[in-house]
Amino acid sequence: MNIKFIENGTVTTPMGFTAQGVCASVKPSNKTKRDLALICCEKPCSAAAVYTKNLVKSSTIEITKKHLENGTAQAIIANSGNANTCNADGVAVAKKMCDIAAQTLGVNADDVIVASTGVIGQPLPIEPIINGAEMMRGKLSKDGGTNAAEAIMTTDTVKKEAAVEFVLDGKTVTIGGIAKGSGMIHINMGTMLSFITTDAAVSSAMLSEALGEAVELSYNMVSVDGDTSTNDTLAVMASGLAGNTEITEKNEDYKTFVAALTALCKTLAKKLAGDGEGATKLLICSVANAKTENDAKGVAKSVICSSLLKAAMFGEDANWGRVLCAIGYSGMDVDVKKVDLSFVSAAGEISVCKNGAGIAFSEEKAKEILSEKEITIKIDLKDGTAYAEAYGCDLTYDYVKINGDYRT
């Protein structure tokens, strides 16, 4: 199939969707950055979501789960600057946010997805939400998607948005999305909010299945710092306005849709990893020829999560032993005496290990390769045909600086 990435694509690229983001000063100290977002569809949509696996969860997740029990949603309200987590009045505030969105947009409050991100354990004031929503009344537009992307950012340094186009049942179909996340990101998502829209016609049951498949190969393969957050929410809405025959079973159209959704999610996942707190490099760990997909994924995750390896990549040090070490404690079915390893970037590729043992290589060339902004840690297990990728970043001094005074 032909999946085309759309230039400047965002969450409002699919038919039927508009959005906006404003500075509501959710944190009183914030006077300029957008921190409240609204996304809306012109009609009720099929909808699905996945959430953090942390036992401590934002109150917004409880409300969103309840609202999606019928598989339908029409709007999203999300704020940054405050997580609305571990608050005695958290559920009431989350409900109120849905009411505010409903009144602003003219939709049913039960069809609103709500999400928050920011500092944990501080009460979320409702007045900025009320004021911010009023500022957006009548101002949601097709051009507002990038403003919504900014509004959900916390320590992110860049907005994360993308859209793809493909053909389904003879119809041109689009999927668009935005995401935020920079720190507190680990396998099973992270401090991550992501909102995806599509004009494909797909039932809520199949949308949920497709989202689950896409997440396993994208967001659940990202780690920045080993901390799984309390607020992770990835929600998708499908308007059906593309006019394709509704996907209600796992047929060829379903497979095509999953492939396109996965491509979009992988792109956003890489943007998350590359913008990790304090990061200077995007790390991609590719694992080929594993016995099973589970083995490939397990090895890739183990390597990308290694603090020692991440620090070495920051220092542009081809310390390949740290990769082998991480493979060894991954718990996967691997014959370490078969492992080949190389580092790859725009500056070239250098092999550093063959059959589990070191080989001679140029340290100067290795440093040149590791000086690039995107580095692939290429592993060949030579034990099967399965493949997987995981995404992460280097570990820098700035990560500690950012998190040393995050609340203030």
pLDDT at 279: 85
Query: Is 397 found in the same domain as 330?
Result: yes
Query: Is 299 found in the same domain as 269?
Result: no
Write down the mean pLDDT value for the chain. Answer: 94
pLDDT at 190: 45
What is the average pLDDT across 192-215? 96
- Of 10, 52, 191, 198, catalytic: 191
Query: Is 223 found in the same domain as 93?
Result: yes
Count the domains in the chain: 2
Query: Is 267 found in the same domain as 314?
Result: no
pLDDT at 276: 76
Q: State which of 236, 251, 274 marks the end of a domain.
A: 274
Query: Is 349 found in the same domain as 234?
Result: no
Query: Is 335 found in the same domain as 224?
Result: no
Query: Is 328 found in the same domain as 244?
Result: no
50: β partners: 234
Q: Which domain holds residue 393?
A: 282-404
pLDDT of residue 358 exceeding 60: yes
What is the average pLDDT across 91-115? 98
pTM here is: 0.90
Which domain CATH number covers 377?
A: 3.10.20.340
Query: Is 42 found in the same domain as 158?
Result: yes
Query: Is 326 found in the same domain as 260?
Result: no
Residues 6+ apart with CB under 8 A from 166: 1, 2, 3, 4, 172, 173, 256, 260
Q: State which of 249, 274, 299 marks the end of a domain.
A: 274
Q: What is the pLDDT of residues 230-263, one digit of tens each?
A: 778 999 999 999 999 999 999 999 999 999 999 9
Any catalytic annotation for residue 157? no
Query: Is 308 found in the same domain as 185?
Result: no
Query: Is 291 found in the same domain as 209?
Result: no
